[in-house]
A and B are shown apart, each in its own frame.
Chain A
């Protein structure tokens, strides 16, 4: 049962990615005024960098959020 979790996650991610690709319409540059809004950026906010840093120290899971994934101590 435990081994099925990673497979399920990978499969789910693949289905999610494929469904996104198949569901998307061609969006022209002049239709992107809302997508180009700074609040719509797909990266984390710059102001979140230290929040993600302390979460990295206080929780065992980390990565895949644009934050630090190695280097520097995590021992304080």
Chain B
């Protein structure tokens, strides 16, 4: 019995001794819910595109003449985030865009001048979006402010966005409300200007300014259908009011007379679109898009798009794409010299005519884990080329580069 007591005592002392050799550390703080509250730069996206088009239906000269145009467009966007004390994520997206374009057709507004309003112009457009999201539920809301400025056009924009996610995170509802309050300088073709506004200075070409305001709402629902398939449905009603005609575009009538383009000052648009993305095999993904468009000017359009990204490796994919668009033109359209002199509204802008178009090309996307070309911070590079041809004879090419830095 005494041996048993002694063994228990020795065991107890042994445990105490063993414990005594461990240096007690203070308990570590619970880090499971810890989030940095500093403003953190998440990613930078740089997108540059070069666009070139040519055709023979310039609206400035009443539906005839060159439509040659080049546009060099660039945007940089910075996405930053910060968690507040309540654990909500605040995301700030700042975007700055700069487009520089040259347009041979716009030079015909006043052919006698060396440089008319839109022969070459630069558009600058910054915007800022703030979105607050709950990472646990996925619900979010945010606001956007934007500005755009070019020689004859200025735009102020505001927007609200809302996201609701289902509990299982398989259904997402998005709502957007946008307003653009624009001001457009009214510039008439040289031969239609009143004698009092004649002159050679740029300002003297303007007949004053006119508003053009656009309001749109967007409702979309996305749904996970199974582990390889998901879909999206979007309805985006829009309303525009103000100067919707481009006043420096000419229209020629059957009696030989000439007037500046005139269109109704209200336009309602209703585009409805669906996307369906399918992960067909481990290497092939099928991305599809379809849109139906209608408006109160009589334009009806069907747009269908398919893109098939093929994963050459886990980090490189090649994406051929094809887009088809078919449109019934506005009731106000007529070609050069074919407008009825009694018409109230008229345009010879072939963008609003009955047409169909094909757009095809391919993109390559590199996103290796150690950075593109071994540059750790260059997270992704995508290069795309597309060729566009329209039944009216217009052709164009666009090449786009997207770099993502993290």
Contact = CB atoms under 8 A, between A and B. Distances in A.
A61 B293 contact: yes
Given A27-B170, A39-B317, A73-B184, A54 B71 contact: yes
A64 B290 CA distance: 10
A15 B51 CA distance: 39
B402 A47 contact: yes
Contacts of A59: 301, 325, 327, 351, 355, 357
Majority secondary structure of chain B interface residues (helix, strand, loop or mixed) = strand
A32 B224 contact: yes
A47 B275 contact: no
Contacts, number: 218
A16 B49 CA distance: 35
Contacts of B148: 71-72
Contact of B155 (A42, A57, A62, A71): A71
B101 to A, nearest CB: 6
Interface string A1-30: 000011001100100110011011111010
B270 A62 contact: no
B164 interface: no
Nearest to A49: B47
Q: Size class of A's contact patch?
A: 35 or more
A33 B93 CA distance: 27
Interface of B: 45, 47, 49, 51, 53, 69, 71, 73, 75, 101, 103, 106, 118, 121, 123, 125, 146, 148, 150, 152-153, 155, 157, 168-171, 178, 180, 182, 184, 214-216, 218, 221-228, 230-236, 238, 240, 246, 248, 269-275, 277, 279, 285, 287, 289, 291-295, 297, 299-301, 303, 309, 311, 317, 319, 325, 327, 329-330, 351-352, 355, 357, 359, 363, 365, 367, 382-384, 386, 388, 390, 394, 396, 398, 400-402, 404
